[in-house]
Amino acid sequence: MRKRKGVMKIIFIVIATVLILLFIIYINHQIRLKKETDLRLPLGQMVEVDGHNMSIYVEGTGDTTLVFMSGGGTCSPILDFRSLYSLLSGTYQIAVVEKFGYGFSDVVNKDRDIDSILEDTRAALFDAGLNAPYVLCPHSMSGLEALYWAQKYPDEVSAIIGLDMAVPEYYDSMNINIPLMHIAGRAADIGVTRLIPGISDSDAIKYGTLSDDEKEIYRAVFYNRTATVTMINEVERVKENAQKVNSMGVPQLPMLLFISDGSGGTGFDKETWRKIPIEYISQVDEGKYIELNCPHYVHDYEYKTISESIIAFLAER
């Protein structure tokens, strides 16, 4: 009996210690968030969509508008794409739409079916005064949204330029660990992520052309927009969204896909990662693809090559 009480006492002490440490981590996180407030001031404009604030960034001029669409979990789309679109804004008008839960947009606990996501993006562009047709430049998971956009509103999309974008077939065999994402979200809310060295240094920070000030902004956004409930809701519906996009066939419009080597968190080997989009683009009459020897966030590595290829591709239209 005495031995059992001793064990229970040790367990209680361990639990109490952990709770105290988590409380200290949380308080530190809240203090740091407050100090970073100025770093999280919107870089673009805020528009109201469905009663909430959505961030959209516009740069450059021109008759053609390129709409950059971020992949799942990219905490700061405006800065993530900057190395690439800064090379294009002298020729085209650039727009980066930050979905709810991303960047400077509100975190909203709402359904993320493909129709809801698309209508939010369209509304943001309309409220910002940007008119279709658009050239869509999706990265990763937002490829589904771009394809669905071209399927549902073909007059609004003049071309798709995929930055290692996802096509529906990827999700047939993709394993998605939702419980782990929820744990990551709770850890980020508490501030545990601040204890992990280098975790906030994205590919855009390490390999892109961001200034030191922009890197600090990116880090501040990261600690406030990691595994948000909106992001998790999006991933929970992604397989269903992929099935819906797949059921509507392959849209026929000019399409250029930049395809990475599959490294950088895709979960696929190089051969499989490249095979799926190559088979997809083969069904597009005006489709082309370019293979790049770099990780998944291609626009943070091969921004110069990609920008030159985009200009050449659109010049042919």
Per-residue pLDDT tens digits of the chain, which is 317 residues long: 666 776 777 888 888 888 899 899 999 999 999 999 999 999 999 999 999 999 999 999 889 999 999 999 899 999 999 999 999 999 999 999 999 999 999 999 988 999 999 999 999 999 999 999 999 999 999 999 999 999 999 999 999 999 999 999 999 988 888 888 889 888 999 999 998 888 899 999 999 999 999 999 999 999 999 999 999 999 999 999 999 999 999 999 999 999 999 998 898 999 999 999 999 999 999 999 999 999 999 999 999 999 999 999 999 87
Cα separation values, 162 from 77, 175, 288, 299, Å: 15, 22, 10, 10
Quote the CA–CA distance of 259 and 281 in Å, as a whole number.
11
Helix (H, G, I), strand (E, B) or coil at 136: strand
Q: By the 8 A CB rule, do 85 and 66 touch?
A: yes
